[in-house]
């Protein structure tokens, strides 16, 4: 599968953040959610102990096969 969009919406500040490049670590304005990985991988960092939540907005292309 190939990642078309790597994004999430913070459940506290409602900001939508998107990682566009492999090591593009992006954090929302309240600091509760970060996304990383761009189109290479999907990684989330969230303060679950503080009760933060997020909505996953990433999109993948299931038709694209990356195997050789």
Beta bridge partners of 61: 2
pTM as predicted: 0.84
In a domain, 24, yes or no: yes
Query: Residue 37 belongs to what domain range?
Result: 2-57
Closest CA to 58 of 30, 27, 40: 40
Mark the ranges of the chain whose per-residue pLDDT is less than 70.
1, 64-68
Provide the number of structural domains found in the chain: 1
In a domain, 40, yes or no: yes
User: What is the percentage of the chain residues whose pLDDT exceeds 70?
Assistant: 91
| Alpha-carbon span 63 to 68, nearest angstrom | 15
């Amino acid at each position: 599968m190939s990642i078309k969009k790597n994004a999430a919406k913070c459940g506290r500040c409602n900001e939508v953040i998107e990682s566009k490049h492999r090591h593009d670590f992006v954090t929302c304005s309240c600091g509760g959610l970060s996304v990383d990985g761009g189109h290479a991988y999907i990684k989330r960092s969230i303060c679950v102990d503080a009760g933060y939540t997020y909505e996953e907005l990433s999109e993948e292309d299931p038709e694209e096969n990356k195997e050789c």
